[in-house]
Amino acid sequence: VELTEETQKAVVNDFLRQQNATSPEALIQIVRSSGLSEEAFFDQLFRPARMAQIAQEQFGAKAEAHFLAQKERLDRVVYSLLRLNSQSKAQELYLRIAHGEANFSDLAGRFSEGMERDTNGMIGPVPLNQAHPTLSEKLRAAKPGMLLEPFRIDRWWVVARLERFAPASFDARMGAQMSMELLQEWLKEDTRRRVQGLSSNTDNGSKA
């Protein structure tokens, strides 16, 4: 895959900024200290851009459909969470928060029995589907700032509040991400087929 001169310059400039280097001389020194030949160094440097170009050329037309199929995984939320073993305690803390008698983060830091206690109950931003399906469904239906009454998840009684919902949208950046995902899936499937073919040939050779 041949990159345009403009793309190559952009990749090099981004790399130099990451290295806090600003001059061509600095780039030469980085290449020398890498232990690679100049050709091998730039091959590695340009590889992600080449992969992105292949992904766009081969799968760009399918990117939006893939995005729509994966949207639930891509939507992100920030929410507050408080987990307790006791239904009555969960109801008590819920009412204190609802009536403005206490702060959610303070109560979560003091009383929550889950790992969210270490972050004062704050979770995210995280993919919406990363949460338990029951919690995910309730958060999707809620509006920012909405406090959810205690509900049961497994052995826990849960109090939750949606802080922020960030639905994924399809733009150029997302299109590039979806195209790359499709390329990676194709590469995995192609590798699987090749390995399977080699195994079949080996088996046939052994029988012969």
Predicted confidence (pLDDT) per residue in 20-62, tens digit: 887 878 899 999 999 999 999 999 999 999 999 999 999 999 9
> 128, 78 in Cβ contact below 8 A?
no
Instruction: Say yes or no to pLDDT of 208 above 60.
Output: no
Q: Which residue carries 């049961």 as its tokens?
A: 152
Instruction: Say yes or no to pLDDT of 203 above 80.
Output: no
Q: How confident is the model at residue 130 (pLDDT cuts 50, 70, 90)?
A: confident
Token code pair at residue 129: 């589907």
Portion of the chain with pLDDT greater than 70, in percent: 96
- DSSP H helices, 23-62, are 24-33, 38-59
> 97, 147 in Cβ contact below 8 A?
yes
Span 70-97, mean pLDDT? 94
**Mean pLDDT across the chain:** 92
Q: What is the pLDDT of residue 196?
A: 86
Query: What are the tens digits of pLDDT across the range 136-186?
Result: 999 989 999 999 999 999 999 999 999 999 889 999 999 999 999 999 999
**What CA–CA distance (Å, rounded) separates 125 from 118?**
16
Indicate the Cα dihedral angle 138, 142, 144, 147, nearest 10°. -70
Indicate the Cα dihedral angle 25, 26, 32, 36, nearest 10°. -120
DSSP tag of 196: H
> 144, 162 in Cβ contact below 8 A?
yes
